[in-house]
């Protein structure tokens, strides 16, 4: 979603800001802009489309100046055009960038119009800059004006404000939309994601909800929601990823698919000893907080939700606790029942998904025994606000379609199953089997990646298709859902997933030669049932692509292509069958020529509702 970069420095900052925006491109956006203060004047350049177009515009008309702000916009209020692109400017004096949504913008707009302000965009953001301009008339500093402004805002914001009459500072404010301050030598930066600032600093402090900060070249002064001066810990970033580096790969998505063995090895590192998953994988308090857990409520969105759905089978079957899984946007707006000794688990690659964060906050109010997040972003809101965190250590994921984050989430959830199960009397043999399975995942995934060429060939069959159906049973049903989501996201083919036992309750009516049916078929106790479902499809003239264990005894014929998947145990089957689903969607998207890493209309980190 929208991205922010800002700087106060002695050198010209336009290039730094543009590079920051490039590093945020993966989040999804439709226009971009930058404004700097130069010789007491605001200079602004905005473009619809890619950051490259903004960069080219600045190359032909350079922007000089040491204080500036920049933004990539993902349209919410107002179409993606140049006048709606940020930064927005009030009365040629105040410039603002903003992530989030101002819910009371209509009321504020009317009030500001009444005061004589003219609006030049359809955005909710523009109210912020006029409001700051208005408040400056009765406040002695930009800081005080911004503090007075944010008190009037309802909704979510991460915002940065500069004033052309004061090129020494920027004011940043956070509520519901993350902002991180980057500390340099004699210069300071701000961004919505630390990735944006890695070329200029590795020292970061994350603002907390309600914080407003005054950032100058020499100082950063942070104030909490009540206006008290506070300190926020400055940490050295552990993120090593160079967002500009796709290496030998054509797309980040492919790179990230191939990074999975390494990401899995990394996530397991130091978390298993003496054949057991260590409680400490989930943080220092885990031994105490996980002790009496009898029920697990999992909350997530999208791909992360699918990981949670798979884990439900494991927690109930192997760990012996009841488990519910719900989409965050549903959970947060309904009354749900709280079971005794319940653990709330959020799953999120970004750690900033607005609905998941709201669900966590609601759960805390409801009185869950403990909260945990399975998350890939250190310092993110979900990590900071949860009692426990399983840090995924998958490395930054840049492709909008989540791949390595999903498989690492599955590994983390299998570890959770082992730990919760141990506290509920799981026998040692089962614990050892799970542990062994975890340890052999990286090598097995490597084998599964060997399917790449065969899948690339198969993908040709999908090039002219408009629909596809994915089928699975048990913990492969969520994998079928994930396969369908990946195909939708990056190839724009309509795809649906069904638990194959549901076929005859409706979807069978869709089957014909134009509807490819993708089946995930490991060799488990549901195999015979799945085979019956496959026959139901065959009898109706459907074309099937069956990803099957070599012992499952499927044979290719005119109506069915069988793709043998490396043999694997039941603990890792969901994870292993995910790999061909990822590769299939990738190759179909390549053939269709879509923007694989930044598919249309989508954002990497969904920080608004």
Of positions 149, 194, 350, 373, contacts ligand F6R by CB under 6 A: 350
Binding segment for ligand F6R (CB under 6 A), chosen from 133-141, 188-196, 298-306, 451-459, is 298-306
Binding segment for ligand F6R (CB under 6 A), chosen from 127-135, 187-195, 347-355, 432-440, is 347-355
Of positions 67, 84, 353, 500, contacts ligand F6R by CB under 6 A: 353
Of positions 401, 415, 426, 574, contacts ligand F6R by CB under 6 A: 401
Task: Identify which of residues 353 and 435 has a Cβ nearer to ligand F6R in the complex.
Answer: 353
User: Judging by DSSP bridges, how do beta strands 295-300 and 67-73 pair with one another?
Assistant: unpaired
Of positions 13, 272, 360, 606, contacts ligand F6R by CB under 6 A: 606
Beta-bridge partners for 561 = 545
Q: Are 112 and 127 in contact (CB under 8 A)?
A: yes
Tokens representing 429 are 């043999």
Q: x/- binding map, residues 25-64, to ligand F6R, per CB under 6 A?
A: ----------------------------------------
Residue 104 in 3-state DSSP?
A: coil
| Closest separation in Å from C-beta 116 to ligand F6R | 41
Angle between helices 404-423 and 302-314 (to 10 degrees): 30
| Closest separation in Å from C-beta 587 to ligand F6R | 16
- Taking the alpha carbons at both ends of the chain, their separation in whole angstroms is 11
Q: Give catalytic status of residue 2 as yes or no.
A: yes
Rounded distance between C-alpha atoms, residue 474 and residue 499, angstroms = 8
Going edge to edge, which strands form the sheet with 3-8? 41-48, 31-38, 67-73, 3-8, 188-191, 180-183, 203-206, 235-236
User: Judging by DSSP bridges, how do beta strands 94-99 and 467-472 pair with one another?
Assistant: unpaired
Of positions 177, 356, 437, 533, contacts ligand F6R by CB under 6 A: 356
Tokens representing 558 are 């005119």
Rounded distance between C-alpha atoms, residue 306 and residue 484, angstroms = 11
| Closest separation in Å from C-beta 390 to ligand F6R | 13
Beta-bridge partners for 342 = 295
Task: Identify which of residues 345 and 543 has a Cβ nearer to ligand F6R in the complex.
Answer: 345
Rounded distance between C-alpha atoms, residue 266 and residue 259, angstroms = 11
Q: Is residue 354 near ligand F6R by the rule CB under 6 A? A: no
Number of helices (H), then strands (E), in the chain: 18, 27
| Closest separation in Å from C-beta 66 to ligand F6R | 34
Please work out the total of residues on this chain that contact ligand F6R, with binding judged by CB under 6 A: 15
Peptide bond between residue 87 and the one before it cis (omega within 30 degrees of 0)? yes
Task: Identify which of residues 167 and 402 has a Cβ nearer to ligand F6R in the complex.
Answer: 402
Q: Are 566 and 444 in contact (CB under 8 A)?
A: yes
Tokens representing 170 are 């920027």
| Closest separation in Å from C-beta 349 to ligand F6R | 4
Element (H, E) at 530: helix 527-539
Beta-bridge partners for 367 = none
Rounded distance between C-alpha atoms, residue 393 and residue 265, angstroms = 10
| Closest separation in Å from C-beta 406 to ligand F6R | 8
| Closest separation in Å from C-beta 508 to ligand F6R | 28
| Closest separation in Å from C-beta 150 to ligand F6R | 25
Task: Identify which of residues 163 and 489 has a Cβ nearer to ligand F6R in the complex.
Answer: 489
From 50, 393, 444, 604, active-site residue: 604
Q: Is residue 177 near ligand F6R by the rule CB under 6 A? A: no
Whose tokens are 């100046």? That residue is: 65
Q: Is residue 299 near ligand F6R by the rule CB under 6 A? A: no
Sign, CA dihedral 79-80-81-84, equals positive
Site residues (CB under 6 A) for ligand F6R, limited to 302-321: 302-304
Binding segment for ligand F6R (CB under 6 A), chosen from 40-48, 56-64, 349-357, 582-590, is 349-357
Task: Identify which of residues 503 and 589 has a Cβ nearer to ligand F6R in the complex.
Answer: 589
Q: Are 281 and 301 in contact (CB under 8 A)?
A: no
Rounded distance between C-alpha atoms, residue 266 and residue 499, angstroms = 32
Task: Identify which of residues 167 and 353 has a Cβ nearer to ligand F6R in the complex.
Answer: 353
Of positions 132, 301, 560, 608, contacts ligand F6R by CB under 6 A: 301
Element (H, E) at 6: strand 3-8
| Closest separation in Å from C-beta 608 to ligand F6R | 12
Q: Is residue 402 near ligand F6R by the rule CB under 6 A? A: yes
Q: Are 53 and 61 in contact (CB under 8 A)?
A: no
From 2, 129, 323, 568, active-site residue: 2
CB-nearest residue to ligand F6R: 302
Task: Identify which of residues 333 and 450 has a Cβ nearer to ligand F6R in the complex.
Answer: 333
Give, in degrees to the nearest 5, the angle at Cα 159 between 157 and 162: 160
Q: Are 479 and 577 in contact (CB under 8 A)?
A: yes
Task: Identify which of residues 28 and 421 has a Cβ nearer to ligand F6R in the complex.
Answer: 28
| Percent composition of the chain: helix, strand, coil (DSSP 3-state, to 5) | 40, 25, 35
Of positions 67, 167, 175, 348, contacts ligand F6R by CB under 6 A: 348
* Integer angstrom CA distances of residue 357 from 252, 299, 328, 412, 447: 27, 10, 8, 19, 36
| Closest separation in Å from C-beta 414 to ligand F6R | 18
Of positions 25, 126, 214, 489, contacts ligand F6R by CB under 6 A: 489
Task: Identify which of residues 323 and 394 has a Cβ nearer to ligand F6R in the complex.
Answer: 394
Task: Identify which of residues 310 and 503 has a Cβ nearer to ligand F6R in the complex.
Answer: 310
Task: Identify which of residues 201 and 356 has a Cβ nearer to ligand F6R in the complex.
Answer: 356
* Integer angstrom CA distances of residue 389 from 392, 442, 462, 569: 9, 22, 40, 27
Of positions 84, 192, 349, 431, contacts ligand F6R by CB under 6 A: 349
Q: Give catalytic status of residue 604 as yes or no.
A: yes
User: What residues are annotated to the active site?
Assistant: 2, 604
Interaction site with ligand F6R (CB under 6 A): 301-304, 348-350, 353, 356, 401-402, 485, 489, 605-606
């Amino acid at each position: 979603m929208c991205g922010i970069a800002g700087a106060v420095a002695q050198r010209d900052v336009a290039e730094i800001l543009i590079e920051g925006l490039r590093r945020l491109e993966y989040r999804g956006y439709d226009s971009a802009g930058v404004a700097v203060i130069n010789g007491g004047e605001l200079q602004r350049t905005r473009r619809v489309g890619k950051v490259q177009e903004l960069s080219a515009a600045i190359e032909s008309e350079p922007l000089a100046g040491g204080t500036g702000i920049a933004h990539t916009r993902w349209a919410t209020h107002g179409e993606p055009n140049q006048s709606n692109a940020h930064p927005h400017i009030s009365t040629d004096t105040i410039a603002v960038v903003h992530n989030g949504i101002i819910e009371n913008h209509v009321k504020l707009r009317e009030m500001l119009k009444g005061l004589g302000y003219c609006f030049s965009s359809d955005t909710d953001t523009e109210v912020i800059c006029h409001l700051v301009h208005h408040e400056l008339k009765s406040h002695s500093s930009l800081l005080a004006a911004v503090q007075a402004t944010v008190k009037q805002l309802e909704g979510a914001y991460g915002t940065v404000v500069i004033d052309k009459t004061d090129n020494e500072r920027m004011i940043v404010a956070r509520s519901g939309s993350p902002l991180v301050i980057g500390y340099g030598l004699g210069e300071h930066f701000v961004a919505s994601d630390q990735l944006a600032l890695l070329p200029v600093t590795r020292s970061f402090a994350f603002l907390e909800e309600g914080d407003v900060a005054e950032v100058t070249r020499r100082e950063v002064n942070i104030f909490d929601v009540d206006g008290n001066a506070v300190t926020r810990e400055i940490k050295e970033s552990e993120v090593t990823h160079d967002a500009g580096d796709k290496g030998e790969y054509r797309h980040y998505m492919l790179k990230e698919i191939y990074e999975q063995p390494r990401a899995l090895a990394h996530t397991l590192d130091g978390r298993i000893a003496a054949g057991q998953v260590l409680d400490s994988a989930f943080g220092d308090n885990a031994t105490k907080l996980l002790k009496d857990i009898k029920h697990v409520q999992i909350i997530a969105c999208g791909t992360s939700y699918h990981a949670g759905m798979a884990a439900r089978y494991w927690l109930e079957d192997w760990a012996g606790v009841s488990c519910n899984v719900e989409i965050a946007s549903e959970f947060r707006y309904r009354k749900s029942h709280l079971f005794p000794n319940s653990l709330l688990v959020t799953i999120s690659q970004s750690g900033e998904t607005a609905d998941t964060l709201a669900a966590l906050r609601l759960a805390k109010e409801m009185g869950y025994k403990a909260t945990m997040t399975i998350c890939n972003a250190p310092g993110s809101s979900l990590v900071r606000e949860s009692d426990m965190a399983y840090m995924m250590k998958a490395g930054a994921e840049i492709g909008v379609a989540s791949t390595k984050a999903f498989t690492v989430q599955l590994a983390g959830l299998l570890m959770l199953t082992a730990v919760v199960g141990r506290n509920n009397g799981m026998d040692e043999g089962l614990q050892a089997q799970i542990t062994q399975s975890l340890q052999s995942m990286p090598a097995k995934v490597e084998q599964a990646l060997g399917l790449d060429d065969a899948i690339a060939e198969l993908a040709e069959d999908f090039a002219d298709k408009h629909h596809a159906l994915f089928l699975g049973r048990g913990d492969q049903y969520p994998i079928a859902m994930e396969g369908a989501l990946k195909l939708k996201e990056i190839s724009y083919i309509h795809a649906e997933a069904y638990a194959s036992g549901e076929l005859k309750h409706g979807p069978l009516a869709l089957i014909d030669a134009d509807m490819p049916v993708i089946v995930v078929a490991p060799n488990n106790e549901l195999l015979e049932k799945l085979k019956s479902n496959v026959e139901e499809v065959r009898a109706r003239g459907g074309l099937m692509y069956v990803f099957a264990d070599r012992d499952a005894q499927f044979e290719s014929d005119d109506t069915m292509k069988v793709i043998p998947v490396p043999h694997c145990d039941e603990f890792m089957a969901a994870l292993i069958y995910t790999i061909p689903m990822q590769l299939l969607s990738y190759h179909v998207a390549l053939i269709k020529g879509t923007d694989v890493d930044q598919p249309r209309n989508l954002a990497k980190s969904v920080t608004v509702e």
